[in-house]
Amino acid sequence: MTVAPHFQFQNNTLHAEQVPLSKLAEEFGTPLYVYSRQALRDAWESYRVAGQDRELLVCYGMKANSNLAILQEFARLGTGFDIVSGGELARVIAAGGDPGKVVFSGVGKQVWEIEAALKAGVKCFNVESEDELERVAQVAERMNVKAPVSLRVNPDVDAGTHPYISTGLKDNKFGVPIDQAPRIYARAQQLPSLNIVGVDCHIGSQITEVSPYLDALDKLIKLILALKEQGVNLIHLDLGGGLGIRYTDETLVTPTQLLTEVFAALDKNGLGHLEIVLEPGRSMVGNAGVLLSRVEYLKHGETKNFAIIDAAMNDLIRPTLYDAWHSVEAVEPRPVTESTPRYDLVGPICESGDWLARDRQLELKQDDLLAIMSAGAYAFTMASQYNTRPRAAEILVDGDQAHVIRPRETLESLFATERLLP
């Protein structure tokens, strides 16, 4: 049994929905990213149901996976989008998304990006510093428009995740300290080219408990009530994203569990009228995808056994970067016995850090297919062409159909824009 319900074994072969992964490998080659369309829909539905007919806008955190077909699917379902660059805004528009449902986060917005967002008519800028507030105001004034802004506040809450994906502590680069927020909002009130619409908070990623959210929410409620006294009446509260997915045996928080607590706390404090904005990324796509790979060589040593596969750290950097665990499934598994060796799964990249899984007991032979699970988030979007390796194709499975949503790069395309010296 895999950790992703849309990837299951049928007749001893791992399938994506109704399509055998072995068939996809034969047709499209490996390494290969494979996504389930139904998994995307089910993830969206979990948030829709959790909304309980309240004012809720789900803005998909597209840095997790920004393929146009996936953005198109979410746009059709009604999501907004959380972006962190002008390039991501361009992707939303190309995929048919509604810029009016876009929140623009990120600490380093450039002038051209602010201009593009104002021209497109985004829902809100999540402002992350005083300097940024001034710049957004200046650009909006020059364009003769009003910029909708929300201040991203840092509540100094420990989300209990890997330090690289924790964003709500006072020593993180994101947002402004929550105790400075009233003063910065007061400055925003003085800038006629700004329209204050909300407050924003994002404390981290892969969160598996409700308590960090509630700790942050308690501080946000106090801030909202204080702002009301100084004449700042907000329209929405953006709680960010960060809900975790199951990589192994994690106990998860569902969107319904989270929002039930959030709505209760807001109602208790007379703030039930606020629109809630969420920015889920990983929980929308993480378990909707796998990275399919083939065993090139088996290398047995005195202290280590290596399964050298054709996927590498350039295809999935999370294990190298975060020491992250991804379950690994043989596409056509053989029985595992006490004598079955344990392998480190490594790729062909010329780095000792090029590994995708360690100490996995698998009964393997050369040319076997392996599925690295939970690769729908932060796999292709963080992929590179290191060692001049073409990035893998992306396939979206819909029932018994497979759609190529990004073809495999060719070697020639990797240096087509480079120029030799005269």
Q: Is 351 annotated as a binding residue?
A: yes
Q: Is 47 annotated as a binding residue?
A: no
Q: Is 187 annotated as a binding residue?
A: no
What pLDDT shows up at residue 3? 67
Q: Which residue has the higher pLDDT, 204 or 55?
A: 55
Q: Is 280 annotated as a binding residue?
A: yes
Quote the percentage of the chain above a pLDDT of 70.
95
Active site residue 350: yes
Q: Is 378 annotated as a binding residue?
A: yes
Q: How confident is the model at residue 158 (pLDDT cuts 50, 70, 90)?
A: low
What pLDDT shows up at residue 165? 41
Q: Is 279 annotated as a binding residue?
A: yes
Q: Is 240 annotated as a binding residue?
A: no
What pLDDT shows up at residue 112? 98
Q: Which of 59, 124, 201, 350 is catalytic?
A: 350
Q: Is 419 annotated as a binding residue?
A: no
Q: Which residue has the higher pLDDT, 167 or 225?
A: 225
Q: Is 282 annotated as a binding residue?
A: yes
What pLDDT shows up at residue 157? 82
pLDDT at 170 over 90: no
Mean pLDDT over residues 301-307, rounded?
94
Domains of the chain, first to last: 7-36+286-414 (2.40.37.10), 105-280 (3.20.20.10)
Rounded CA-CA distance 90/67 in Å is: 12
Q: How confident is the model at residue 162 (pLDDT cuts 50, 70, 90)?
A: very low
Mean pLDDT over residues 10-18, rounded?
97
